[in-house]
Amino acid sequence: MEKEALTSQVLDALEDVIDPELGIDIINLGLIYDVDVDDAGNCQINMTLTTPGCPLSDILDHDIKEHTGAVEGVNQVTVNLVW
């Protein structure tokens, strides 16, 4: 699959990841800064949280990996928190 198409599918999948406190997806909240998928299907996501000490970061990390990993062509997902 073309890299751009795969990245687009990952972004679509991330729209299904909802911040449990706010009830809004992480794409529309502006929490995702960058998504990069290499030719081997390794996906790296750079993101931030709504607050530095967000108690739900583990839930978001799990949901991101679950939704992104379900995209055909994605083999591994790494989430990097940036501030």
Which residue has 């990390």 as its token pair?
A: 61
DSSP letter assigned to residue 34: E
Query: If residue 49 lies in a helix (H) or strand (E), which one and from where to where?
Result: none
**Residues 49, 30: Cα–Cα separation, whole Å:** 9
Fold (CATH) for 3-81: GMP Synthetase; Chain A, domain 3 (3.30.300)
**Helix, coil or strand: residue 69:** helix
Q: Is the pLDDT of residue 1 over 70?
A: no
pLDDT in tens, 43-67: 999 999 987 777 788 899 999 999 9
What digits encode the pLDDT tens for the residues 20-47? Answer: 888 999 999 999 999 999 999 999 999 9
- 82 pLDDT more than 70: yes
Q: For the whole model, what pTM was predicted?
A: 0.90
